[in-house]
Structure 1
Amino acid sequence: MPDRPGALHRAAEIIKRYEGNINRIQYDRRIDRHTVFFEVTAGSRAYEKISEELEKIGYLQTSLKPVAFLKFHVYLPNCPGALFDFLNSITSSGANITFLDFDDRGQHPERLVVGLNIENTSVIDNLLNRLKSGYRLEILEYDTTGEALDDTVFYLRLAQKLRVFIGNAGEAFLMRFLYDINHIAQELSNLQKDPIEVFENILKVGECLNRTSGENFYADVQRVKIKDDLELFCFQPPCGGNIYFFDTPSERVMIDTGYGIYYLDVVNMLQHYGLGDFSRLKRIYITHADADHCGAAGCFSVLSYLNRETLLVMQETSRAYGSSNQECILEEVYTKIINLFSRFTPPSNIALFPEILQSGEIIKKRGSFPVIFQFKIGNLNFEALEGLGGHMYGEIFYLCPEEGLLFPGDAIINFKSLSPDRTEYNVLADYLMMSVNVDSELAKEERNALMSLIFEIDEKLARRNKKCLICCGHGSISVLEGGKLVAYSSSERYVAKQSGISVCREDLDKNN
């Protein structure tokens, strides 16, 4: 919209004329003086007329074409009309002037500094050639990334930065995504958050994931001998949840997969540790539906085990689904953002746990948690425990009572074992959703119940001089010492660029 009195009223009048109902409006001149977000409910014919009228007066934004920024010095003759003639060339090119700087009593009385925003980048060469034929020019800056654009086109700048993270998605998708991001900024602004900081933190999520994939990927690795012929690997990627990998004589099994964006990096890492033969990988067990725990499951051809509720959360594309916080827009939009930035590839080859609780049956209980499924990894007996839903609806914990192995997902995290960069990344989700738990009170109750279960297991294992190994959703495999989580063993650092192993997707497809 033009930045002048009555502009907003003019749009509202058009919507009212065709009996459209405004459900949401967001405008903040501090962010972008020309962009207003409307959410309107109307009949299909009325919707067409509203769109047509808004487009006719130049209000309706239908695309977010990349805008280039050009900055240069031009040396004008000191005579009447020189600036006017120069500006004719600029106007005819369709470029928008962002600033001009000239003072004939300054250090450079003949020099004009010019900044331009140019939507149609194909005209730049013609414009420069035309200017060079008549003036002496010095190009200072040319940018197509959006970094150098000023805040009068804030959402265009944001869109250009988002393009890096969304791949080949079209303009319609980008427009919708920008609308969703604006919605989360509106919600957080109402909670006294600075909207510019909100946008910056959203971009940081994408930047962190992109920066730490490929040759910059790394992981902290713990290796634990459970038995002579059975080893458990804990891989901590740069961002997101842990990946657990069992290596047994008869099979290999994963618990959680990490982000989809790390899939090839994880495959290279598994190759480095001699675990790259995927014909021996038999199953994946999922703790919950967050992208950092199941976002690469669909990249593997093996069965992924999960419960019906976890599948529903994935299908609803809102991590708050099924919780007391189900209508929270922050949870819904964050899910869309993280799924997109992390290249969420949910499991496609699925085995659902039997829904025995639907009929009132329970195998047994472990403390506060019903056992809904039993299975083996190698010769270890495991139980799938149904969580209370504090962190997320449908979450499952995995327990091997005999050896004292507990996988509590994000219900228990050893925060002290997290590196500063991982802590900084995890704080972004907390900021954008206000809490990573869909029900904070239930999450406390759930954690206390798990701690009680761990104390109980520790008492039984004490006669064998063993302790329950807590395989946290983030951070180190830990044990309880004096009621506090302590890393069970030291970690080694895997660095992709030093591993000397690289596997491409074509090779993996042949393997599978």
Structure 2
Amino acid sequence: MNRSTDLIVNTNLAMQILDETGVSPYRTFDSISHFAELLATSRGRNFSPRITHHNITENTVITLIEPPCGSNTAIIKSGDKYLFIDTGYACYKEEMLSVFRNIIPELDSIKKKCFITHADVDHCGLLPIFDTVYASAKTAECLRLESNNEDGFREMNPLHKPYVRICKVLTSYTAVSAEKLSVVGDKKEISQLIEQTGFIDFGELHFELFEGKGGHLAGESVLIDYDHHIAFTGDIFVNMKEMTAQQAQYNRYAPILMTSVDTDKELCTAERTALFQRLGIGKWQIFGGHGGMKSYTIAPTEI
């Protein structure tokens, strides 16, 4: 099936599915139209991500890139090493590469490494440009399915499948080669809301790796550095209060077209509460999957 046919088929399917839930087909079509327009009008000269820099130590800094549409990308620089967290949409490849090269002049000559918090299309678009992609076992499983032209976890959900297929067409998504995947953490069934599965050391940072129970998406990962009070949460936590106007506009459409951005909304809410309960006393810098960095302080009396 070519891309145009795929887009038409899944647009019709989305309208049919949402019509059965009481959403007008006209509203669905209008949402898809506005979503496509937002993606297109944010390219080229109109691509204006918010970029902020967060000093962790004298030798470690986190640069947060927040594009108008799609997930954040964080770049951790520790000493002379770089680690990316998530990558955004594939349709912004050239724009993001330009941003990356401004931050990392030697980008084209280094081995590029990325940690992916979960296997959603808006987080994985640029994975093919990386040499190594670190992921939880379940996230790696999902990405391997996609590399074999099979349905990923989102597409296994009938309510989410049309939107994901539409996103893949509109953003020119290409699955990452399975050979680039490197599993981190233990492979196990998650029985708690969020559960520790391993550790990741990078430069001066020492992360504990946690996996959620799948409220947002199976395989969802969280990185917490208790020494430096930083956390990368993926979409278990999204900073809705600190979004740019463009981000807020973009984030209106997925909940309409998917009925919910979460696999299980109530479970994801419980995971988010459990995540914040995992943090210790002190001032934290929390980097969500969308929106600006959240400063969060836990006083001794709150423990």
Q: What's the TM-score, normalizing by structure 1?
A: 0.54
Q: 1:345 & 1:258 partners in 2: Cα distance?
A: 13
Is 1:441 the counterpart of 2:266? The answer is yes
Contact 2:118 2:217 in 1 (8 A): yes
Q: How does 1:59-458 map to 2 (within 5 A)?
A: 170=2, 173-300=3-130, 302-314=131-143, 315=145, 316-320=150-154, 328-348=157-177, 349-357=180-188, 369-454=194-279, 457=280
Q: Give the whole-Å Cα distance in 1 for the aligned partners of 2:123 and 2:53.
A: 20
CA drift of 1:471 comes to: 0.6
Q: For each residue in 1:138-195, what CA deviation from the matched residue of structure 2 results, as whole angstroms up to 9, or x when unmatched? A: xxxxxxxxxxxxxxxxxxxxxxxxxxxxxxx84xx53343222211101111222221
- Say whether 1:473 aligns with 2:289: yes
Q: Distance in 2 between matches of 1:378 and 1:333?
A: 41
Distance of aligned partners of 1:482 and 1:416 in 2 relative to their CA distance in 1, 3 Å threshold: farther
CA shift for structure 1 position 271: 2.1
CA distance in 2, matches of 1:331, 1:270: 31
Structure 2: gaps of 5 or more residues: none
Q: What is the alpha-carbon distance in structure 1 between the residues aligned to residue 25 and residue 105 of structure 2?
A: 45
Alpha-carbon displacement from aligned partner over 1:326-359 (angstroms, at most 9, x marks no partner): 5x4220111111112112233321112254426x
Residues 1:319 and 1:482: Cα distance change in structure 2 (over 3 Å)? same
Q: Show structure 1 runs of 5+ residues with no match.
A: 1-168, 484-512
Secondary structure at the counterpart of residue 176 of structure 2: coil
Contact 1:399 1:406 (8 Å CA) reproduced: yes
Q: Aligned equivalents of 1:405 and 1:176: distance in 2?
A: 41
Q: TM-score, normalised by structure 2?
A: 0.88
1: CA distance, partners of 2:258 / 2:286 = 27
* Aligned AA (1:427): R
The AA in structure 1 aligned to 2:154 is A
What is the CA–CA distance in structure 2 between the aligned matches of 1:414 and 1:176, rounded to whole Å?
33
Superposed CA RMSD in Å reads 2.3
Q: Which amino acid aligns with 1:317?
A: D
Q: How far off its partner does 1:260 sit?
A: 0.9
- How far apart, in 2, do the equivalents of 1:433 and 1:426 lie? 12
2:91/2:172 contact within 8 Å kept: yes
Question: Which shifted more, 423-432 or 277-286?
Answer: 277-286
Quick one: distance in 1 between partners of 2:24 and 2:105? 46
Distance (Å, rounded) in 1 between the aligned partners of 2:106 and 2:122? 21
- How many Å separate the matches in 2 of 1:197 and 1:476? 30
1:211 Cα deviation after fit: 1.3
Q: Which has the higher contact order (CA 8 A, sep 6+)?
A: 2
- Once the two structures are superposed, what CA deviation does each residue of 1:312-337 show, in whole Å capped at 9, x if it has no partner? 3342435436xxxx5x4220111111
Shift of 1:385: 0.8
CA distance in 1, matches of 2:86, 2:31: 26
Describe the shift of the 1:401–1:347 C-alpha distance in structure 2 as closer, same or farther (beyond 3 A): farther
Contact residue 317 and residue 336 of structure 1 kept, 8 A: no
Structure 2 match to 1:33: none
**Change in 2 beyond 3 A, CA 1:311/1:181:** farther
Q: Distance in 1 between matches of 2:229 and 2:112?
A: 23
Amino acid at match of 1:202: I
Which amino acid counterpart does residue 172 of structure 2 have in structure 1? R
How many angstroms does 1:204 deviate by?
Answer: 2.0
Deviation at 1:368, TM superposition (A): 5.2
Structure 2 counterpart of 1:250, one-letter code:
D
Secondary structure class of the residue paired with 1:192: coil
Say whether the 8 Å CA contact 1:429–1:435 is kept in structure 2. yes
Distance 1:345 1:175 in 2: 17
2:120–2:154 contact (8 Å) kept in structure 1:
no
How far 1:309 sits from its partner (Å)? 1.6
Between stretches 308-317 and 395-404, larger displacement belongs to 308-317
Contact 2:6 2:165 in 1 (8 A): no
Aligned residue for 1:373, secondary structure, equals strand
**Structure 2 CA distance for aligned equivalents of residues 393 and 284 of structure 1:** 19
One-letter identity of the residue aligned with 2:70: G
TM-fit CA distance, 1:281: 4.6
What is the identity, as a one-letter code, of the residue corresponding to 2:295? Answer: V
SS of corresponding position for 1:218 = coil
Describe the superposition over 1:266-286 as per-residue Cα deviations: whole angstroms up to 9, x where unpaired.
Answer: 111122234452434542100
Q: Which has the larger radius of gyration?
A: 1
Distance across 1 between alignment mates of 2:204 and 2:12:
51
Answer whether contact 2:186 2:198 (CA < 8 A) is retained.
no
Alpha-carbon distance in structure 2 between the residues aligned to 1:175 and 1:244 = 35
